Structure 1
Amino acid sequence: MDDYKKLMDDLPNKIVQQLGLVVDIDLHEKESRHYIEVTVPQSTVPISYHGIYHYRSGSTKQELKGTALHNWLLKKSGRSWEDIPVPGATADDLDIDTIQSFLKKAISKDRIPASAAEEDIMLLMKRLNLLTKDGELTHAAILLFGKRPYALSPTTSFKIGRFGKSSSDLLFQDIIETNLLTMIEKIMDKLKDRYLIRPISYKGLERMEPLEYPEPALREAILNSIIHKDHSSTWIFLRVYDDRLHLWNPGILPEELTVEELKQEHSSYPRNRNIAGVFFKAGYVEAWGRGTNDIIKACKEAGLPEPLIEENQGGLSIVFLKDIYTAEYLRKLDINERQIKAVLYIKEYGKVTNASYQEINNTGKTLATEELSDLVNKGLIQQSGTKGRGSRYELVRKI
């Protein structure tokens, strides 16, 4: 590098002009070759290049814009969207019934003192970290307790839709417009009333009518979507299909967590600390990061597949599957293609016999018997009818 002396003069000026940063430039020599070391100090303010902000995620550089830039700038200033004051908001904008319901729950859980029920509303908001230093109600306060939180942002509401075969086939929909603390019950009531069925079965003489998806798992997933949502972004969407239920909320996982780590023992990293804190005090959630594990456990105990969880389109998606008898799901199990073919045959025709197993798989009786027995032992199918030639196999879980 023959022009290193010129670079030593030019680099500091160019960096100051383009980035506003003062850096240290040092010249080094190794094996008769010169090289320049540029030391960039950590900045306490965001740095833009030609008016564009960037950040590094792992080994890639991402451009920050729109909502992501707004939230990043807030984070750099030590705040989040939930902490922003709502100009002109007063105690009159808060719903008394919601506050009383919260106090009753929180006191019964012993998470706030009984004396809180006698306190001034604004003092309660202060104790819940829902006031700014200047005594203004924050976004979180209006979202949690407000009479009309959708006036703050229309996307604070929750959208539910019933679809046909595809996402373009919307049959009907509902929008839940209420504050966050009453939202979960209104959503669950609407799902039970209009969207989900209760298959009837019997345990002895007892009539059983559980929801087609385990209610604790649904409730936990919906609570998580409300609490961890990026409330400065779009709506939460709950799409109900014949064979699945798809919940999506805006806001990717925190840097400390991956989707796989969600399924293991992990700590809690709430996006909205104050909103999460109020839900905790009301007894809706625990602060142990066990929600995802509880969802998976409830689905498995109900005989359903593990929900599909992934990050997409800037948010977190969870899909509850009603049917364990799909080729995609069966291939995740410890069974072979002949067994998968037989299970799908039963799904279509209602039953399979040893003879028909042999026919559809072009195999012998001994192997057919072994593989059918294996499917029985794995809890996928059950044997019915008489033993021997009259024996047939059906699905354990009715579709």
Structure 2
Amino acid sequence: MNQRELNDLILQMRQIGNDTQTCEVKESRKKIPENITDTLSAFSNGEGGTIILGVSEKEGFIPVESFDARAMQEALSAKCDLMTPRVRPSIEILPFEGANVLVAHVPAMPVKDQPCYITTKGRYQGSYIRTGDGDRKLTQYEVDRLIEERSQPTFDDDTVPEATLDDLDKNLLTPFISRQRELHPRIFGTRSDEDIIIGMHVAKRDDDGTIRPTLGGLLALGLFPQQFFPRLNITFTAFPGVTKSEVVDDSRRFLDSQTIIGPIPLMIEDALGAVTKNMRTGAIIEGAFRKDVPDYPRKAVREAIANALMHRDYSPDARGSQVQVNMYADRLEVLNPGGLFGSVTIDTLGTIGISSSRNQFLSNILETTPYPDGGYVVENRGTGYQIIEEQLQAALMNPPQPKSTLSFFSLTFDKRKMTASEKTISDYPSVEDAIIKLLSTRTSANTRELAELSGLSRSTITSHLRSMIKQNIIEPTEPARSPKQRYRLVREQ
């Protein structure tokens, strides 16, 4: 830190009246306070920070008289020796307003060495994290998550002792197995169904030799996973205002609330349905037809929910916490237990080539877990966040807002603002021209499709279709009164 940076930093604290998230000031008039070790731990377990000794916060961030910077440098180094692993800050003495102060920059500890804790208090009582302008002791759960970062977790590969293969959904399992044979014929082409589900970690043999579903297999392909893990579900809540405390009609605190259960592919679809039901869908008029424009792009919402279920923490300590989908008047929030894992950070989210999965077996299973209506739950290529960004950008919406702590990860979408081009569908000056334009881009269309696209009633569309048939502009594809009736442009001879 140079002289100007020090001056700017202390000026900032004078203006706000307290320390900051990344800077702690101590008087240390005669000795270093005992709680300086809390700060050393907190900065080491976070993103690093700066400690300034010889400046008085209570006096308005002015230099302390008779401050012995050299002696305090030695004392601070001694405090660093009380930490495990030892903290190694860069320490320098700088002049400030006619006095010398001690400035120590504490770097973030490498992930593999965290948590950094006060040796005499032990890992679970002596580990801290920086919160605002203070230091907060880490909970046991947070300490465990830091330790977990040192190796690949395997909680998703735990067998479920009470479950059997009958608890797997054959409607999901059968196409899953078929997909494995299709993708990997040399590996699975001639192997039994049992061998495939064991090889893919959908199930494992327990100590008695009984084949039982794994946690990941049950969550992805189970009939009713919540029978064994009641809180491994999704809760959806639509709030009337911008906070959870606002009420409707002086009584209701939410507009809609659902607990969504089932295997992951069905939970994703049901959660997406809940969001769709509760959000506004506007329309942009193009000729006589409309283009639906939802508050939140469905593909982005689906991806966010799928990512939350795939990457959430499934350790025993977190199995009492669910994925939350919270809709407010101005935003949509998807929140899951457990922060970002491994090499992925907020800054590298969506970066090509940077991907890390907390639940490697579940991720692999979900790659070929089918949705009932086609497709698969995830691509498992580290592209999920990119898809979300692209969908929001295409809808001219703000980028997603991620937040990661040791305890949770959340992704927030700002609600789409209505544009000037959105109109109430009331006037259709050129319905027949619009029908012609539409049929020129597709093989055929039925009355229902045309009514949905235009916002007109079926009877109105039917009247226009009859007129166009008489004019030999369009023709039916089926005999009269056929329930499969569709219409197409008359081809020129």
Q: Same fold (TM over 0.5)?
A: yes
Asked if residue 244 in structure 1 is aligned to residue 325 in structure 2, the reply is: no
2:224 maps to 1:141 = no
In structure 1, what is the equivalent of residue 255 of structure 2? Answer: 171
How do 1:7-26 residues align onto structure 2 when only pairs under 5 Å count?
none
Post-superposition Cα deviations, 1:290-327, rounded to whole Å, max 9, x if no partner, equal 221221121111011112111147111111112469xx
Whole-Å separation in 1 of the counterparts to 2:123 and 2:350: 36
Residue pair 1:84, 1:139 contacting (<8 A) in 2 also: yes
Task: Work out which of the two has the higher radius of gyration on C-alpha atoms and give 1 or 2.
Answer: 2
| CA deviation after TM superposition for structure 1 residue 114, in Å | 11
C-alpha deviation, 1:277, in angstroms: 0.5
Q: Which residue of 1 aligns with 2:227?
A: 151
Q: Distance in 2 between matches of 1:148 and 1:117?
A: 29
SS at match of 1:252: coil
Deviation at 1:149, TM superposition (A): 0.7
Taking the aligned partners of 2:347 and 2:230, their CA distance within structure 1 comes to 33
Question: What residue is the counterpart of 1:185 in the other structure?
Answer: 269
The 1:206/1:114 distance shift into structure 2, 3 A limit, reads farther
Aligned equivalents of 2:347, 2:147: Cα separation in 1: 29
Match among 196, 201, 210 for residue 129 of structure 1: 201
* Residue 398 of structure 2 is aligned to residue 305 of structure 1: yes
- In structure 2, relative to structure 1, the CA distance for the partners of 1:125 and 1:71 (3 Å cut) is farther
Q: Determine helix, strand or coil for the equivalent of 1:309.
A: strand
Residue deviations 1:137-173, cap 9 Å, x none?
A: 2211211122221122222110100101121232320
Amino acid of the residue matched to residue 345 of structure 2? T
Match of 1:223 among 306, 315, 318: 306
Distance 1:78 1:224, change over 3 A: closer
1:24 maps to none
Task: Give the 3 Å change call, closer, same or farther, for CA 140–64 of structure 1 in structure 2.
Answer: farther
How far has the Cα of 1:84 moved from its partner?
A: 1.6
Contact 2:173/2:221 (<8 A) preserved: yes
Matched, 1:284 2:377: yes
Partner of 1:83: 157
Verify the 8 A CA contact 1:250 1:315 in the aligned structure 2: yes
1:95 aligns with 2:156: no
State the partner residue of 2:296. Answer: 213
Structure 1 range deviating more: 221-230 or 291-300: 291-300
Listed as ranges, the matches of 1:331-350 within 5 Å are: none
Pair 1:160 & 2:236 matched: yes
Letter in 1 for 2:415: K
* 1:366-377 pair list within 5 angstroms: none
Number of matched pairs: 286
Q: 1:79 to 1:243 in 2, by over 3 A?
A: closer
Equivalent residue for 2:426? none
Judge conservation of contact 1:91–1:122 (CA < 8 Å) in 2: no
Distance 1:74 1:244 in 2: 32
Q: TM-score, normalised by structure 1?
A: 0.60
Shift of 1:186: 2.0
Matched residue of 1:142: which SS? helix
Q: Which amino acid aligns with 2:202?
A: L
- Mark the CA change 1:261 to 1:76 in structure 2 (over 3 Å): closer, same or farther: closer
* Aligned partner letter, 1:178: G
Query: In 1, Cα distance between the equivalents of 2:129 and 2:121?
Result: 20
Q: Aligned equivalents of 2:339 and 2:195: distance in 1?
A: 33
The residue type equivalent to 2:200 in the other structure is: L
Amino acid at match of 1:273: Q
**Residues 116 and 306 of structure 1, relative CA distance in 2, 3 Å threshold:** same
Partner deviation per Cα, 1:19-52 (whole Å, 9 max, x = no partner): xxxxxxxxxxxxxxxxxx9x99x99xxx997775
Tell me the distance in 2 between the aligned counterparts of 1:77 and 1:298: 34
Partners of 2:397 and 2:180 lie apart in 1 by 34
Deviation larger for 201-210 or 211-220: 201-210
User: Given that residues 162 and 171 in structure 1 are in contact (C-alpha distance below 8 angstroms), is that contact kept between their aligned partners in structure 2?
Assistant: yes
Deviations 1:55-106 (A, max 9, x none): 7999xx9977544466677777865211222114211111112213434666
Whole-Å separation in 2 of the counterparts to 1:98 and 1:132: 18
Q: Is the contact between residue 164 and residue 241 of structure 1 (CA under 8 Å) also seen in structure 2?
A: yes
Which structure shows the higher helix fraction? Answer: 1
Q: Partners of 1:277 and 1:285 in 2: how far apart?
A: 9
What is the rounded CA distance, in whole Å, between the counterparts of 1:49 and 1:120 in structure 2?
Answer: 56
Percent identity between the two aligned chains: 23
Could you tell me whether the CA contact under 8 Å between 1:52 and 1:63 is conserved in 2? no
1:203 to 249, 264, 286: 286
What is aligned with 2:66?
none
TM-score (norm 2): 0.50
Q: CA RMSD in A?
A: 3.9
Corresponding residue SS for 2:381: coil
Q: Give the whole-Å Cα distance in 2 for the aligned partners of 1:73 and 1:85.
A: 22
Map residues 320-331 of structure 1 onto 2, 5 A cutoff.
320-323=413-416
Tell me, in whole angstroms, the C-alpha distance in 2 between the residues paired with 1:216 and 1:119: 36
Are the counterparts in 2 of residues 71 and 81 from structure 1 also a CA contact under 8 Å?
Answer: no
Give 1:206 shift: 2.9
CA distance in 2: counterparts of 1:216 and 1:236, whole angstroms: 18
Unaligned 5+ segments in structure 1 are: 1-36, 326-345, 347-399
Match of 1:270 in 2: 357
Q: C-alpha separation between the residues in 2 aligned to 1:69 and 1:215? A: 36
State the one-letter code of the partner of 1:237: Q
